Amino acid sequence: MAKKKKVRVALRKNRQKRTRSNDLTRQFRDDEPGAAAAPASDRVHPRGELSRRRTIIEEVPAAAGDRETTSAPPEAAALRAIDRAACLPGRVLRVHGLVLMVRADDGRIYPCHVRRLLKSLAIEGRHVATAGDRVWFRPAGPAGTEGLIEKVEARRGVITRGYRNRQQIIAANVDQVLIVSALAEPGLKLGLVDRYLVSAEMGGVRPVIVFNKADLVDLASYQWVIGLYAQLGYETVVSSVADGRGVERLRALVARGVTAVTGQSGVGKSSLLNAIQPGLNLKVREVSDWTFKGKHTTSIAELIELDSGGFVVDTPGLRQFELWGVVPGELEAYFLEFRPFIPHCHFPDCSHTHETGCAVQDAVHWGQIHPGRYESYRKLHDHQPLPGD
């Protein structure tokens, strides 16, 4: 049985920086005589992004209830104690700005806002909740038709990316992810596929690689790409909405659990979902004739319940996908073909980039590791953007 205890949590300040840099009043005062000699270090309140703190009630496992805790762990938002008798459980379907559409377990849909305390908690993500999150909300508004989110349950199976120096969770609580890449219009970008694979491995999500728009190319020219990932153990699907290729297989894949559908703009994610379940009527657009890149049709991530019983998260198309939280020394673990050779490197902390006696580099030389995959590793290790983004 869970126990309750008081812990101190860090909160964000209401304002991180001044809204205007050209403050003429401040400049005038700085020019006054004696302004430079005024003490600048004496202050009552501390400064910084996390200078505010607050005591909250937290639920902890019984085994850990007897330990002293001076500060809340990173998952404080998930462990925060609430009055469950006054709240309803639900799942976030989509996020519209400050409003989250939540589907309660009884099937009713509530527009909800997030409690201010949750938004103030010192979390790394851009938003407190995202599509797929399990939440507890308190009915509010006229006749209880709205809600106030009190708690976000701990996540599992997440797809994340880095966006403006912060973590963005694209989908949460998913079992597998369909990494959709087009063989043409806009074209195949293996470096982007590799980054999605690393993100899936980090988030504990089973990846499935979908090579879409197969009707536009000579498939024989791409057999080496399909075979490359299939030999690594990844499930691959060749699909086309135009001739129905691979649609039945994808329909069977998404019929169980929760599946996120992701990929760059214009690869045909929404078209595939429309083919998997006729009647969804998701908006689709053609690839731009000017830039030869996809147009942003799906603007928000949305959790959709399928007639087959499964759920899919239709995510916005991304032209850039930056990994978040990857430690260069741990990157080797996310490239499956490196694992047999890593123990044979001369140096135990080998980065596989320049060292002598590196078994991974030898494997690339002898054709046991594909050069393109190794180049993706090098780019990610050096924190450089991959070409073609």
Q: pLDDT tens for residues 216-226?
A: 999 999 999 99
Determine contact, residues 211/236, Cβ cutoff 8 Å. Answer: yes
Task: Give me the residue spans of the domains in the chain.
Answer: 78-152, 171-314, 328-381
Determine contact, residues 273/261, Cβ cutoff 8 Å. Answer: yes
Note the pLDDT of residue 160. 87
- The reported pTM is 0.78
When the pLDDT of each residue in the chain is averaged and rounded to a whole number, the result is 80
- What is the three-state SS of the chain? CCEEEEEEEEECCCCCCCCCCCCHHHHHHHCCCCCCCCCCCCCCCCCCCCCEEEEEEEEECHHHCCCCCCCCCCCHHHHECCCHHHCEEEEEEEEECCEEEEEECCCCEEEEEECHHHHHECCCECCCCCCCCEEEEEEECHHHCEEEEEEECCCCCCEEEEECCEEEEEECCCCEEEEEEECCCCCCCHHHHHHHHHHHHHHCCEEEEEEECHHHCCHHHHHHHHHHHHHCCCEEEECECCCCECHHHHHHHCCCCEEEEECCCCCCHHHHHHHHCCCCCCCCCCCCCCCCCCCCCCCCCEEEECCCCCEEEECCCCCCCECCCCCHHHHHHHCHHHCCCHHHCCCCCCCCCCCCCCHHHHHHHCCCCCHHHHHHHHHHHCCCCCCCC
Determine contact, residues 208/239, Cβ cutoff 8 Å. Answer: no
pLDDT at 213 over 90: yes
Note the pLDDT of residue 325. 82
Which pLDDT band, with edges at 50, 70 and 90, does 266 fall under?
A: confident
What's the CA gap between 286 and 268, in Å, rounded? 9
pLDDT at 384 over 90: no
Share of the chain above pLDDT 70, in %: 71
Domain 171-314 bears CATH identifier 3.40.50.300? yes
Note the pLDDT of residue 382. 85
Ranges 150-159, 174-183, 290-299, most confident:
174-183
Q: Which residue has the higher pLDDT, 304 or 389?
A: 304
Note the pLDDT of residue 340. 96
Q: pLDDT tens for residues 4-19?
A: 766 666 676 655 555 5
Note the pLDDT of residue 70. 43
Ramachandran angles phi, psi of 138, nearest 5° = -100, 120
Q: pLDDT tens for residues 268-283?
A: 898 999 999 988 888 6
Determine contact, residues 208/226, Cβ cutoff 8 Å. Answer: no
Note the pLDDT of residue 56. 67
- Supply the angle between the helices 371-381 and 190-203 in degrees, to the nearest 10: 60
Residue 43: CB atoms within 10 A of its CB come to: 8
What's the CA gap between 128 and 153, in Å, rounded? 11
Q: pLDDT tens for residues 173-202?
A: 999 999 999 999 888 999 999 999 999 999
Which CATH fold topology does 328-381 show? Ribonucleotide Reductase Protein R1; domain 1 (1.10.40)
Mean pLDDT over residues 71-88, rounded?
67
> Both tokens of residue 162?
């880095």
Which pLDDT band, with edges at 50, 70 and 90, does 246 fall under?
A: very high
Note the pLDDT of residue 128. 83
Please state, in angstroms and as integers, the Cα–Cα distance from residue 65 to each residue in 59, 73, 130, 153, following that order. 9, 14, 30, 19
Q: pLDDT tens for residues 319-353?
A: 667 888 888 888 999 999 999 999 999 999 999 99
Which pLDDT band, with edges at 50, 70 and 90, does 57 fall under?
A: low
The reply to whether 78-152 and 328-381 are identical in fold is no
Determine contact, residues 64/20, Cβ cutoff 8 Å. Answer: no
Mean pLDDT over residues 87-101, rounded?
91
For the ranges 67-76, 110-119, 251-260, the lowest mean pLDDT is seen at 67-76
Top-tier CATH class for 78-152: mainly beta
Query: How many residues does the structure list for the chain?
Result: 389
pLDDT at 237 over 90: yes
Note the pLDDT of residue 336. 94
